[in-house]
Amino acid sequence: GGGSLLTVPLLITLGIPPIVANGTNRLGVLAANLTSAWHFRAEGVVRLRDGLRVFFPVAIGGTLGALIVSELSNASFKRLFAILMIALLVPTLRKPKALTTPESVPKPWSPVTTFLVFFGIGLYGGAIQAGVGIVLLFALAHAGYDLVRANAIKVMVVGALTACALPVFIVRGQMDWLYGAVLAVGFAAGGIA
């Protein structure tokens, strides 16, 4: 988790404009999550329908988030990403609470709360991506899923979210295909492992 916190700054360091680095990173994220979802499904951990109740709000939010962030200037995106990197450092470094027993899983949210939370996560994920998996795991646990199922659903939902956001960056010319292909190969290998 949190790979985009490394890859987006790396792409910027390599000379890719920040907003293009954000779009380019999505090819790797899509490859990682699709291969991970395939692996979880092949192992029988999760079925596609398990993520349906969170897919739609995440997909709607993700598309809208991508549309909004693709309008930012490179300087504005770079500032926003820097602030978010610092904010995400704390939850990334914290040891997560175990959600392995029925008693440790929080009481599920109402359907309206679930929709709004996952719409917000989609909005953020479509715009920034970095750290969305960490936030999504937390939300899935509060939506009533145990840690293993939450992780499996997370990769399916992030894959779907990315598939919705990616065309926005492609259409707006915010994609470096060579670096994106390299990231996709590396991320896919990580998704299989």
- Token pair belonging to 65: 């988030």
Distance of CA 3 to the CA centre of its chain: 10
Q: Which residue has the higher pLDDT, 62 or 91?
A: 62
pLDDT at 20 over 70: yes
Query: What average pLDDT does range 183-190 have in this prediction?
Result: 88
Reduced to 3 states (helix: H, G, I; strand: E, B; else coil), residue 140 is: helix
pLDDT number for residue 54? 84
Residue-wise pLDDT tens digits, 57-80: 999 999 999 999 999 999 999 999
- Region class of 108: left (phi > 0), else alpha (psi between -120 and 50), else beta: beta
Reduced to 3 states (helix: H, G, I; strand: E, B; else coil), residue 168 is: helix
| Residues 60, 127: Cα–Cα separation, whole Å | 12
pLDDT at 48 over 80: no
- Token pair belonging to 157: 């939902």
Q: List Cβ neighbours of 117 (8 Å cut-off, separation of 6 or more).
A: 109, 139, 142, 143
pLDDT number for residue 106? 63
Residue-wise pLDDT tens digits, 8-18: 999 999 999 99
pLDDT number for residue 91? 64
Q: How many CB atoms lie within 10 A of CB 125?
A: 29
| Residues 63, 9: Cα–Cα separation, whole Å | 23
pLDDT number for residue 188? 87
Element spanning 19, H or E? helix 18-42
Residue identified by tokens 């890859």 is 7
Amino acid (one-letter) located at 140? L
Share of the chain above pLDDT 90, in %: 46
| Residues 78, 71: Cα–Cα separation, whole Å | 13
Query: What average pLDDT does range 103-118 have in this prediction?
Result: 78
Indicate the average pLDDT of the chain.
85
| Residues 52, 63: Cα–Cα separation, whole Å | 17
Confidence of residue 193 (pLDDT cuts 50, 70, 90): low
Angstrom distances, CA of residue 26 to CA of 89, 93, 126, 165: 21, 23, 10, 8
- Residue 45 is classified by DSSP as S
- Token pair belonging to 189: 């290998």
